[in-house]
Amino acid sequence: MECEFPTINSDPSKFEEIFESVKTIAIPGLSPKEEKDSHKVAKYLQSQGYKIVPIYPKGDEILGEKVYRSLSEIPFSVDMVDMFRKAEVADFIVDEIEQRGDVKVLWLQKGIVNNKAAKRAEDLGLIVVQNRCTMVEHRAL
**Residue 66 domain flag:** yes
* CATH code of 108's domain: 3.40.50.720
Q: Is residue 20 part of a domain?
A: yes
Q: Is residue 5 part of a domain?
A: no
Q: Would you say residue 2 lies in a domain?
A: no
Q: Is residue 38 domain-resident? A: yes
Number of domains in the chain: 1
Instruction: Give the model's confidence band at 107: pLDDT under 50 very low, under 70 low, under 90 confident, else very high.
Output: very high
Domain residues for the domain of 72 are 12-140
Say how far apart CA 87 and CA 112 lie, in whole Å.
Answer: 5
- Between the alpha carbon of residue 71 and those of residues 7, 8, 31, 48, 128, the distances in Å are 25, 23, 15, 22, 17
30-76 pLDDT per residue, tens: 999 999 999 999 999 999 999 999 999 999 999 999 999 999 999 99
